[in-house]
Amino acid sequence: MRTTWDRERLLEMQRAFQGACVLLAAAELDLFTVLGDRAMTARAIARKIAGDPRATAALADALAAMRLLTKASGRYRAADGVAEAMSDQKKGNVLAMAQHQANCLRRWAELARVVRTGRPARRVPSIRGEKADYASFVEAMDNVSAPMAGPLVARIKPGRFDHLLDVGGGSGSWTIAFLRANPRARATIFDLPRVGPQARARIASAGLSDRVRFVGGDYTRDELPRGADLAWVSAIVHSLSGRQNRALFRKVRRALARGGRMLVRDILMDESRTRPPSGALFAINMLVGTEGGGTYTLDELAADLKSAGFGRVRLVVRDEGMNSVVEAVRR
């Protein structure tokens, strides 16, 4: 259906960043964890977050205007449901994703420069520091993956496998789902060494430490651990160029046992590259954040898989978001 634009709608779109900036600044300052279930004055909040009192009051008032906080008698309290979602003291919170999105926002603000230069945006650490930013990124991936991993694995119906190789497996959300679907299997998570503590902690909390090993390395530089009969490559190909994906797929092929399978989870675009719309926007996220990443069509992905020595490429799940899954078999 054709969209009719007018100046008011365009002006409203131009201002859309403002609310996101207020919410994400509060997340970076961990304001919702500080508040928890309590009511506090702006001055008390400022002391807890090491903020300027005047600036903290302005931020708290904006959050109250957005109905994320309530304000009564000079005291602020998290609105219903907000602390549960945005405090790191609450199970199932999405605070890490908000902190990750704050870093994304800084890169998106440089989009015009990126388009002119063809180079990704400059990476500027948040006030929390580079180490905390990376930890939030890993936790953010778990924020979105943990609730959907079990249902998607059930939808994939991976069948029998003995050993899963989870490439770039992060804190282990997908490994946990695959091993719960196949109680006799074991797994290897391969990711950067600094991810190890988060992965081991989450695997231990799931009671799967005796079935999972963590191997540290960089899949863009290092060979992958060998011997698996099923490889899971989840939300990785969009961060790489086509050339880099072909190199990664060749590494996966070398790591797999003969006849082993690879499952690739990511966004799939149609031939116009405008649908799904979320994929077109995610391509911008990769443009500002990576050297050569983007979103790909099924034909592009299939061609890269076949050139790397895989056959019997098939679409297992078609999804409008990140949950399309493609299977390929090692030739």
* CATH code for the domain in which residue 261 is found: 3.40.50.150
Say whether 39 sits in a helix, a strand or coil: coil
197 and 322 housed in the same domain: yes
Instruction: Decide if 238 contacts 168 (C-beta within 8 A).
Output: no
Domain with residue 42: its CATH number is 1.10.10.10
User: What is the pairing mode between strands 324-330 and 186-191?
Assistant: unpaired
pLDDT in the model for residue 278: 96
For residue 301, what are the domain limits?
144-330
Q: Residues 12, 19: contact at Cβ < 8 Å?
A: no
Last residue of a domain, one of 55, 90, 125: 90
In a domain? residue 127: no
**What's the confidence (pLDDT) of residue 220?**
97
Q: Report the alpha-carbon distance of residue 39 to residue 14 in Å, rounded.
A: 34
pLDDT digits (tens, 9 = 90+) for 166-193: 999 999 999 999 999 999 999 999 999 9
Residues 192, 269 within the same domain? yes
Q: Give the distance, in angstroms, between the CA of residue 211 and the centroid of all CA atoms in the same chain.
A: 25
The SS3 of residue 327 is strand
Q: Does residue 253 form part of some domain?
A: yes
pLDDT of residue 2: 82
Number of structural domains (the chain) is 2
For residue 185, the 8-state DSSP code is -
Give me the residues of the chain with pLDDT under 50, please: none
